[in-house]
Structure 1
Amino acid sequence: MDKLRALQYLVKVADTLSFTRAAKAFGVPASSISRRIADLEADLGVQLLHRTTRTVRMTEIGARYLEQVRGALAQLDDAEEQAGRHGSTPGGTLRISAMPGYSRLLMPALVAFGDRYPGILLDVHLSDALVDLGRDQIDIAIRGGRLPQERVVARRLDPNQFLLAASPDYLARRGTPRTFDDLRDHDALLYRGPNALLKWQGRDEDGWHEVPVAPAFISNDGASLLAMACRGRGLVLLPEWALKDALRCGELVHISLDRPLAIGRGGEAGIYLMYLQTRYQIPKVRVAVDFLVEQLGSNPPA
């Protein structure tokens, strides 16, 4: 039995939940896919898939086995790609995971990257959820927050400074807050992260603490919060890079309080580009990291 081929088939069936689609991807009959996986199950002595006439899904033990197999296959693919493309033009599929709100800055950079490296296929996933670069087979991840503690290389693109803002119309109607206490009398547009609502944090002489505000709108999409703020629906607390255009054209006004206000309680906050050091040796990853850090680092394009 060709175990490597069987493992590749298993991964594709798990991803597509279909023998037919997996067979199409490999250009072989569906019966070949099914037979190879059955041989693998017999060799292991366990059932990896639940099969019916209409559906296919992983068993519990199959899911655990697959999680370990993915990492091994990814390492093998990396080794083969690194050896096969040594000294050659970068190519292949580059998988990038980034925050949805950052896409406004990221996409123009990726267009320019695609023009320079047409042989690289970009596979971009927009999500705020945390990723495991190895397990999720992601080449590059861009996330905001504190300096990651995982075993990854993290290059800071932006300090991710948060600014409080509102539309001129809103401020004319409700007044301009100057203190934390003033915020109690205003409507707040709040961001919901992957796991919880992100509360506003203020710092005074006693340190950081939650600042109570009255939510008027909640969303997990920064662009929606920005749009609501521009329509005069309340105060918004977003990164400077997200507010820059609206502040420049006057749709929003920056509000300065007497004390620092942020999302989170200090630390080395920022927008980080992250990758595994071992994958940096692969040409497509190396050129992408260098290009994106150059394009987006410190002073993102307007």
Structure 2
Amino acid sequence: MADRLQELEVFVRVAERANLSQVAREIGLSQPSVSRILNDLEARIGARLLIRTSRKVGLTEAGQVYLDQIRPLLADLGAAADTAAGNEELRGVLRVELSVTFGVRALIPRLPSLLAEHPNLSVELMMDDRRRSLAEEGADVAIRLGLLDNSSMMARKVGQTPRLLVAAPDYIARHGEPSSPTELAQHQVIFGPSDSSGATFQELIDPQVRFVLPESPRIRVSSSAGVTACVVAGLGVAFGSGWMFNAELQDGRLRQLLPDFPLPTIPIHALFPAGRQPSKRARGFADWLSKSLGSS
């Protein structure tokens, strides 16, 4: 049983690192020994799990299916051992899927405290402004801002952030500052990755107060960082989370518009893959993030 468990652990490491030499160094074995373990596993399974060349290692289709099945099992075994030993330390590789802006501006500055608290934990950040499938990315947890899509994934709210309307001082000097939501129809609005193309964009606190965006905006950007760059350049007004604009608001490159008409806050959720209990790493990360965001 011990040999079989080692086979699984070596396979998962090689699949994650895509490098035999690196895995051999990490576990203190020679590269031929790691190759032999993988060969024994494939012989026992009766399927080719890995494509190995002199330059890289990749998963076959069967290997990806096998990885998806055994990774949570190994995580559960580790969590069970830690629980039995009364050990609350997080260890292993935690894969987090999240947007670029939230990662750069909110999560990464907080990571030193997490890694200092859990020295045996490694973090892999899969940062993309497009929302991807956790199963497709192999992520343990995803951080989502905004309303959640209907899905079978488990979700936990870990915080919230203000939703702001901003513009650059130069834009305001040229086009004037709106005094009510209805005046926004006369302004250039920058559409970001989460904006819809429908006429009604956001509803303010007063449900009777709405504004309409142009059907064909002059600027549409596929990333939050691009939205921030456009609004700083004076190309128009933009909506976004406090994380997107905080630095620029503090240094004066942007100004908040219509502060007397606050928009609903943006919820922040941790999402876990469907069909199984979240790993101890994922649950611990969500606990830590909730505390960290709550203290800011």
TM over 0.5: yes
Match for residue 102 of structure 1? 102
Question: Relative to 1, partners in 2 of residues 1:171 and 1:189: Cα closer, same or farther, differing over 3 Å?
Answer: same
Write the mapping of 1:103-182 to structure 2, written as runs, cut at 5 A: 103=103, 104-114=105-115, 117=117, 119=119, 121=121, 123-127=123-127, 128=129, 129-130=131-132, 132=134, 136=138, 138=140, 140-147=141-148, 149-158=151-160, 160-177=161-178, 178=180, 182=184
Three-state SS of the structure 1 residue aligned to 2:189 is strand
Match for residue 90 of structure 1? 89
Structure 1 residue 239, shift from structure 2 partner: 1.4
Query: Is the 8 Å Cα contact of residues 165 and 235 (structure 1) preserved in structure 2?
Result: yes
Match for residue 212 of structure 1? 215
1:293 lines up with 2:290 in the alignment: yes
Query: Is the 8 Å Cα contact of residues 187 and 233 (structure 1) preserved in structure 2?
Result: yes
How far apart in 2 are the matches of 1:114 and 1:44? Answer: 36
Q: Which one has the bigger strand percentage?
A: 1
Moved more, 17-26 or 162-171: 17-26
Structure 1 residue 154, shift from structure 2 partner: 0.4
How far apart in 1 are the matches of 2:212 and 2:173? Answer: 29
User: TM-score normalised to the size of structure 2?
Assistant: 0.73
Query: Is the 8 Å Cα contact of residues 71 and 135 (structure 1) preserved in structure 2?
Result: no
User: What amino acid is the match of 1:101?
Assistant: T
Query: Is the 8 Å Cα contact of residues 71 and 134 (structure 1) preserved in structure 2?
Result: no
Match for residue 256 of structure 2? 254
How far apart in 1 are the matches of 2:260 and 2:197? Answer: 19
What is the percentage of aligned positions where both structures have the same residue? 27
Could you list the per-position Cα deviations for residues 238-268 of structure 1 after superposition, in whole angstroms to 9, with x for gaps in the alignment?
Answer: 1134334434554323333999989xxxxx9
How far apart in 1 are the matches of 2:28 and 2:59? Answer: 22
How far apart in 2 are the matches of 1:180 and 1:212? Answer: 16
Match for residue 228 of structure 2? 226
How far apart in 2 are the matches of 1:67 and 1:132? Answer: 11
Three-state SS of the structure 2 residue aligned to 1:215 is coil
Question: Relative to 1, partners in 2 of residues 1:241 and 1:22: Cα closer, same or farther, differing over 3 Å?
Answer: closer
User: What amino acid is the match of 1:123?
Assistant: V
Structure 1 residue 147, shift from structure 2 partner: 4.5
How far apart in 2 are the matches of 1:14 and 1:131? Answer: 19
User: What amino acid is the match of 2:14?
Assistant: V
Match for residue 41 of structure 1? 42
Query: Is the 8 Å Cα contact of residues 134 and 142 (structure 2) preserved in structure 1?
Result: no
Match for residue 265 of structure 1? none
Query: Is the 8 Å Cα contact of residues 229 and 235 (structure 1) preserved in structure 2?
Result: yes
How far apart in 2 are the matches of 1:209 and 1:75? Answer: 50
User: What amino acid is the match of 2:11?
Assistant: L
Query: Is the 8 Å Cα contact of residues 133 and 141 (structure 1) preserved in structure 2?
Result: no
User: What amino acid is the match of 1:233?
Assistant: L
How far apart in 2 are the matches of 1:60 and 1:126? Answer: 21
**Cα-Cα RMSD:** 4.1
User: TM-score normalised to the size of structure 1?
Assistant: 0.72
How far apart in 1 are the matches of 2:247 and 2:54? Answer: 54
Query: Is the 8 Å Cα contact of residues 159 and 293 (structure 2) preserved in structure 1?
Result: yes
Write the mapping of 1:191-206 to structure 2, written as runs, cut at 5 A: 191-192=192-193, 199=197, 201-203=201-203
Query: Is the 8 Å Cα contact of residues 249 and 255 (structure 2) preserved in structure 1?
Result: yes
User: What amino acid is the match of 2:125?
Assistant: H
Query: Is the 8 Å Cα contact of residues 93 and 120 (structure 1) preserved in structure 2?
Result: yes
How far apart in 1 are the matches of 2:277 and 2:30? Answer: 36
Query: Is the 8 Å Cα contact of residues 91 and 120 (structure 1) preserved in structure 2?
Result: yes
Structure 1 residue 202, shift from structure 2 partner: 4.1
Runs of at least 5 residues in structure 2 that lack an aligned partner in the other structure: none
1:271 lines up with 2:274 in the alignment: no
How many residue pairs get matched? 282
